[in-house]
Amino acid sequence: MTTLKTSTCHTPYSLVYGCEAVIPAEVHVPPSRYSLNNIEANANLMQDNLSLTEELRDSARIRMTSYQQTVARSYNKNVRIRVFKEGDLVLRKVFPNKKEKSAGKLASVWEGP
């Protein structure tokens, strides 16, 4: 779960806990970027991260809303609006629970005039 999500540009773990996840291999053999930190500086950084968690979540919420609008816009550009009036002839989809049992696999999927 350390992969950035397209909709929020953050990891789910960082949105919940306010910091990045550490995989078990990095706990036993820490990389050089962790060995340069001391305990007091790390505690201060963690406190700063926790205070910025709400701001991080707000920016993710704004980004997700923008992403949803972009997806909806790209989906809706191919939608054609049709207005039906009473008496217009239309095809209706036949659902599996309404199909005739004797028709088999060659049965009509649509019913209409």
Average the pLDDT over 75-102 and give the result: 80
31 found inside a domain: yes
First to last CA, the chain: 53
5 found inside a domain: no
- Band (pLDDT 50/70/90 cuts) for residue 51 is confident
- Band (pLDDT 50/70/90 cuts) for residue 77 is very high
Range of the domain at 48: 12-111
Better-scored residue on pLDDT, 26 or 7? 7
32 found inside a domain: yes
Q: How many structural domains compose the chain?
A: 1
1 found inside a domain: no
4 found inside a domain: no
3 found inside a domain: no
2 found inside a domain: no
Q: What is the pLDDT of residue 71?
A: 92
106 found inside a domain: yes
pTM above 0.85, yes or no: no
